[in-house]
Structure 1
Amino acid sequence: MAENTTTDAAPAKKGKLKLIILLVIVVILAIALSVAGTLWFLNGSIPGMGEDTATSEDAVTEEVFTPSVYLGIEKALVTTVQGEGRQRYVQVYVSFEATDPQALTAAKLHMPLIRSQLVMVLGNSSFTELQTPEGRQNLAGNMLDTVNQVLEQEGEPTVSRVLFRNFVVQ
C-alpha cells in the first residue's frame, strides 16, 4: 500500500506542472496581445508591419522645428492714459519673439522708431481696457501690428509676437 501512494503522487505533480506551464503561456500571450493592441490603437498600426513605418518617418522629416529667439526692450514704455475722468499711468516692459534672428536684428536697428510708435499705441489705449486680460491681448496685437508695419516699411522680416514681461497700470 505504501508503494501505491508514492506512484500516485508523481502523476499528480506532473499534472500540476503542466497546468502551471500552460497558465504561464496563457498569461504571456495575453500580455503580448495587450501590448500589440495598445500600440495599434495609439499609432494606427503595429510598428515594423509594412509600409506604414516608411510614411511615418517621412512625415517626421518634413516637419522641422525652428526655435524662437527673443529681444527684450530694456527700458520700459511709460505713458499716461485717460481713465475715470483723470490721468492714469501705464508702464510696460515688452519683448519681441521671432523665428528669424534677422528680424530681431532689424528691430534693434530701428528701435527708436519702434519705441515711438509703441508709446503712441499705448497712449491711445483706455485705462479700463488695460485692466482686463482681453484688453491686454488686444494691446499686444496692436503693438505687434505696429512693429511689423515699421519693419515692413524698412524692408525687413517681421516678428511673430509681442510679449509683456511686466505690465503696470496705476
Structure 2
Amino acid sequence: MLADQARIRLAPRLRELQTRYRGYRERLQRETMELYRSENVSPFASCLPILIQAPIVGLLYSVFIHPSLAGHANELLSQTLLSVPLGTSLLHAVSTGTAGLATWLVIGCLVLAIAAVGEITRRAFRIAPVEGMPGVPLAMLGALQFMTAVVAVFVPLAAGIYLLATVTWTLGQRVVLRRVYG
C-alpha cells in the first residue's frame, strides 16, 4: 500500500521525466531510478510480498508431493481436512478421476474464499488511475488479485490453505496500515 502511495505521489514527476527524455531511453531509466533513490522508494516494493511467498509455497508444494521425506514415509500425506487428504490438488484429482464430492466441496470452497478475499482487497484498495502513470494497466492489476485462486487449483490442499491464510493476513495488514497511515 505504501508503495502504491509513493508511485501515485511520484507520478507527476515521472511524467515530467518521460516528456523530457522521450527519445533517450537510457537517460530516462537512469533519471527514473535516481528519482526513486532520492525519494527512498523502491520501484520493486510492491513485488516484495510475492517474492517472499513464492519459495514458501514452493516448499509446501514439494512437501506434499513426495511420498517420503528423509527416508521416512511422508505422514503429512495421510492427514485430511474434512476427509480430503492435504496432499490432494483439484487438478490432479480431476485428471485421475478421484475427485469426489468432498474434494470438490473443500477445494472449491477454498478457491472461492481466496477469490472472495481477492475481490474484497481489489475493491477496498482500488488504485485511482493517474494520467500518464507508467506501469501495469489497472485492469491487469485487478486480475492479479485472482491469480492466487487459480494457483490454488494446481497446488496441494495444504498449500491452498496457506494461500488463503496469506491473502487474508495481507488484507488485514493493509486495513490496519491504511488506518494507521491514512
Same fold per superposition (TM over 0.5): no
Q: TM (normalized to structure 2)? A: 0.23
| Structure (1 or 2) with the larger CA radius of gyration | 1
Q: TM (normalized to structure 1)? A: 0.25
The structure in which a higher percent of residues are strand is: 1
Higher relative contact order at CA 8 Å, sep ≥6: structure 1 or structure 2?
2
